[in-house]
Amino acid sequence: MAAVQDSAVAVGAGAKARPAAQGRLAAIWTKHGAGYMFLLPWLVGFFALTLGPAVASFYLSFTNFDLIRSAEWVGTANYVRIATADPKFAASLKVTIVYVVLSVPFKLAFALLVAILLNRGIKGLTFYRAIFYLPSLLGGSVAIAVLWRQLFAGDGLVNSLLAQFGIEGPSWISHPDYSIWTLVVLSVWQFGSPMIIFLAGLRQIPTDMYEAASLDGASKFRQFYKITLPLLTPVIFFNAVVQTIEAFKAFTPAFIISGGTGGPINSTLFYTLYLYQEAFGNFRMGYASALAWILVLIIGLFTAFSFLTSRYWVHYDD
Amino acid sequence: MRMTRRSVLAGGAALLSYSMLASSALSQEARLRVLWWGSQARADRTNKVNQLFQSENPGVSTNGEFLGWSDYWPRLATQVAGRNAPDIIQMDYRYIVEYARRGALAPLDDYLGSVLKVEDFDKVQIEGGSVDGKLYGVSLGANSAAMMVNTVAFEEAGVDLPTPETTWDDMARIGAEITKAGKRKGFYGIADGSGVEPLFENWLRQRGKALFTKDGKIAYDANDAADWFAMWAAMREAQACVPPDIQALDQYTVETSPLSLGKAAASYAHSNQFVAYQGVNKDKLALNNFPLISKDAKGGHYRKPSMFFSVSAQAKDPELGAKYVNFFVKDPKAAEILGVERGVPESAAVREQLAPTLDELGRAMLDYVSGLGALAGALPPPPPSGAGEAEFALRTVAEQVSFGQLDAKQGGETLVNEVSQILSRG
């Protein structure tokens, strides 16, 4: 017990000694200390769980780290192999870009359509909004991916419905020509978060513009084309960038639906899935780290390209 | 009592020192972490044995964890990388070389005869757990690849069940007859095994070839692979096997095989999975060896350790680990709990003890593995690193052929090219 009392005294003494010396630092602390303390959980998370591993993976991308033995420096060998001698890199990149190009426009169009329908002042808006948002909360989960397998398998619900019309469908999820489409449909179904943002954007458009247009005899379609779309371009742009990044990063649906293989015939081999296979299936953590940094670069290029073209089609009111 | 700053600090410090005392008391107790893959049934049995081991070894606590096969390997690799490896690792023939050569496993030779009493094990099976002359894994049971047959579906279609003499020609004919009988909706004769590595290996061995040479090179040529793909293309044509989009649903688990999905009357697996297959199939199943390339073909099968227990190189007390492994494979009470769920026990004494107590399924499995006779040949060397990728390549190329992207000849060339590249990269 004596030791306990000693340590308590020591702590108390330390607390008393503090304010005297380091003037400037102490002043900053008194002024902003509380703020930094509130930021602390985020800062710890950012440095320990995001920035630290990112820096480590950058280093590892120049090594042959295999998870068990210690890493050996191999220079740019990993990057050279990716660029020149890896057919699966090209195959997985192609699958991913097809997925992005298909899923993002369909998803945004669908989200906009639902947002416009919901914006017509129907009763119980909050209820519908919540219901339509639900798939976005569930969509990334394993349970939904498993459900998707059940729906689109050979004797799944979709083929049972098609059978009513005399159509005999293939096993959609396990046919190389159709499997990517089941993933696109799954992505479009999670239209909730762009829809909410579209809905907010639609409410920003002043109603007097529509009134003036209809007085001039503009049809509903013309109003949508000439008023809604141009004024909504900043929101469309935002959604497009966010959804494109999300689509590049998609992993769970392909992992669950193909059982981790990316099959059949690599038709669902997303870039992230290939990266995962290399890291944890084939023990090539160094190579997988290099793949990850290439992905960062690709997403960066796509985003930069979006921003560069945005000045030609995004209309800012102010 | 009034709370002052000092009393709170003192209290906190006291709590801290108590908890440190408590944890140092805990670390006096030896703790064994055991990690394995498998079903709930396996987990129940393993946990029971763990409790038994604890009660017979006061001061030792065990902590078991289990996962499915495909989640198991990433988890194990990350734990080993994080210097947080379990003490006892369930190990597979495919990975033991990789883990042993990377220094993740403890050699067990020092404990042979003293702690680890496996003298009555089949010598070949002990060697199966050895890498570069040192013992890294103790076999938990022997098994062999096997065909699972739905006996009811065969009866319905009015065809005879396969026998040990059934050839691939017979199988193609029988398969087509079952499909033609059309007794069930969307039902076919046999699963498409063109991408199933153990089946391909069995067929190669009957031809006198193998998957890999001793020094880890490819041991078959493009003609072998092309013949293989051509045989399956003919069966697909004749509807003896399931169509490719149905076969692609198979994730090589018990639950997703065409047999369990109710799409085919026969599928390919390992004998120790018989219990699990029967568990998810309503119809009565039977075990049969893989078909023969000709009436007098031999040696396609082999008895292999179905899985090992290895002791981690990071284990604090490897001797205790060896003691646990010995308990697992030798103790009569443990044997009674474990049965033949991990394969046919390697210890002759345990086998004798278990034989009269087995149920019908266990009996069938034991008879199958011990009755292979001339159908079984020598145990091939452990697969080289890159074998996992090579298996994946077989599956992908088989799909390319079955979906019509390549013909059998192109498939053969593509496969041999890809596998050679994978193996040379290591």
Residue pLDDT, tens place only, A162-205? 888 888 888 888 889 999 999 999 889 888 889 999 999 998 88
Chain B residues whose CB is inside 8 A of the A145 CB are none
SS3 content of chain B, % helix, strand, coil (to 5): 50, 15, 35
- Are the C-beta atoms of B94 and B387 separated by less than 8 Å? yes
For A197-246, give the secondary structure using H, E and C.
Answer: HHHHHHHHCCHHHHHHHHHCCCCHHHHHHHHHHHHHHHHHHHHHHHHHHH
Shortest distance, CA B269 to any CA of chain A (angstroms)? 18
Q: What angle do CA B254, B287, B376 make, to 5 degrees?
A: 110
**Beta pairing partners, B134:** B131
Pick left, alpha or beta for residue B298 (phi over 0 → left; psi -120 to 50 → alpha; otherwise beta): beta
B58/chain A closest Cα distance in angstroms: 32
The pLDDT of residue B177 is: 94
Mean pLDDT over B220-239 rounds to: 96
Length of chain A: 318
How many A/B residue pairs have CB atoms within 8 Å? 95
Closest approach of chain A CAs to the CA of B354, in angstroms? 37
Chain B residues close to A281, C-beta within 8 Å: 73-74, 388-389
Identify the three-state secondary structure at position B212: strand
The secondary structure of A47-114 as a DSSP string is IIIIIHHHHHHHHHTTB---SSSPP-B-TTHHHHHHHHS-HHHHHHHHHHHHHHHHHHHHHHHHHHHH
Chain A contact probe: residue of B245, B260, B395, B424 with most A CBs at under 10 A: B245
Q: Does A169 touch chain B (CB under 8 A)?
A: no
Contact B78 A67 (CB under 8 A): yes
Share above pLDDT 70 across residues of chain B, in percent, rounded to a whole number: 93
Contacts of B291 (CB under 8 A, 6+ apart): B147, B162, B166, B167, B168, B170, B171
Q: For residue B131, what is the DSSP state?
A: E
Query: How would residue B260 be classed by pLDDT, with cut points 50, 70 and 90?
Result: very high
Radius of gyration of chain A (CA): 27
B361 CB-near residues (< 8 Å, 6+ apart): B274, B275, B278
Judged by CB atoms closer than 8 Å, whether chains meet at B186 and A155 is answered as yes
Question: pLDDT at position A8, please?
Answer: 42
pLDDT surpassing 80 at residue A139:
no
Query: DSSP assignment, residue B271?
Result: G
Q: Do the beta carbons of residue B380 and residue B225 sit within 8 Å?
A: no
- Interface residue of A1, A64, A151, A283 to substitute, partner B, most B CBs within 10 Å: A283
| Interval B178-198: pLDDT, tens | 999 988 888 999 999 999 999
Q: Which secondary structure element, helix H or strand E, spans residue B311, and what is its range? A: strand B308-311
Query: Distance (Å, rounded) from C-alpha B152 to C-alpha B121?
Result: 38
Phi, psi (degrees; rounded to nearest 5) at A99: -60, -45
Establish if A2 touches chain B: CB-CB under 8 angstroms: no
For all residues of chain A together, what is the average pLDDT? Answer: 86
Are B248 and A11 in contact (CB < 8 Å)?
no
pLDDT digits (tens, 9 = 90+) for A236-292: 999 999 999 999 999 988 888 887 888 789 999 999 999 999 998 888 999 999 999
The residue among A148, A171, A256 with the most chain B CBs within 10 A of its CB, best to mutate, is: A171
Residues of B with CB under 8 A from a CB of A: 5-6, 9-10, 13-14, 17, 70, 73-74, 77-78, 80-81, 98-99, 102-104, 186, 244-249, 251-253, 256, 263, 386, 388-389, 392, 395-396, 399-400, 403, 405
CB of A72 within 8 Å of a chain B CB? The answer is no
Residue B246 CB neighbour total at 10 angstroms = 24
Residue A147: pLDDT band (50, 70, 90) is: confident
Task: Assess contact for B90 and B139: CB atoms under 8 A.
Answer: no
What is the average pLDDT across B380-393?
87
Contact indicator for B178, B172 with CB cutoff of 8 Å: no
Average pLDDT for residues A153-165, to the nearest whole number? 85
Tell whether A159 is within 8 A of chain B (Cβ): no
pLDDT value of residue A261: 84
| Nearest CB neighbour to B246, from listed A8, A171, A259 | A171
Q: Is A30 on the interface with B (CB under 8 A)?
A: no
Judge whether A7 is closer than 8 Å to chain B, CB to CB. Answer: yes
Cα separation, B260 vs B52, in Å, equals 35
Give tens-digit pLDDT for A286-310: 999 999 999 999 999 999 999 999 9
Partner-chain residue, chosen from A171, A266, A280, that has the shortest CB–CB distance to B245 = A171
Q: Which tokens go with A287?
A: 């190579």
In angstroms, the separation between the Cα of residue A148 and the nearest Cα of chain B is 13
pLDDT of residue B23: 46
Query: Which site among A16, A67, A146 would you substitute to test the B interface, given the most B Cβ atoms closer than 10 Å to its Cβ?
Result: A67
How far the first Cα of chain A sits from its last, in Å, is 70
- Kindly state whether A77 is in contact with chain B, defined as any CB-CB distance less than 8 angstroms: no
B13, B248, B389 ranked by CB distance to A174: nearest:
B248
**What are the DSSP E strand ranges found in B27-186?**
30-37, 60-67, 88-91, 130-131, 134-135, 138-139, 142-143, 145-150
Test B388 with A174 for CB contact under 8 angstroms.
no
Three-state SS string over A73-87 comes to ECCCHHHHHHHHCCH
- CA A55/CA A59 separation, integer angstroms: 6
Which three-class secondary structure string do you get for B364-422? HHHHHHHCCHHHECCCCCCCCCCHHHHHHHHHHHHHHHHCCCCCHHHHHHHHHHHHHHH
Say if residue B355's pLDDT is above 90.
Answer: no
Q: Given A4, A68, A260, which is nearest B104 (Cβ)?
A: A68
Picking from B9, B77, B249, the nearest residue to A280 by CB comes out as: B77
* A12–B249 C-beta distance less than 8 A: no
Does residue B46 have a pLDDT over 50? yes
Q: Does A171 lie at the interface with B, CB-CB under 8 angstroms?
A: yes
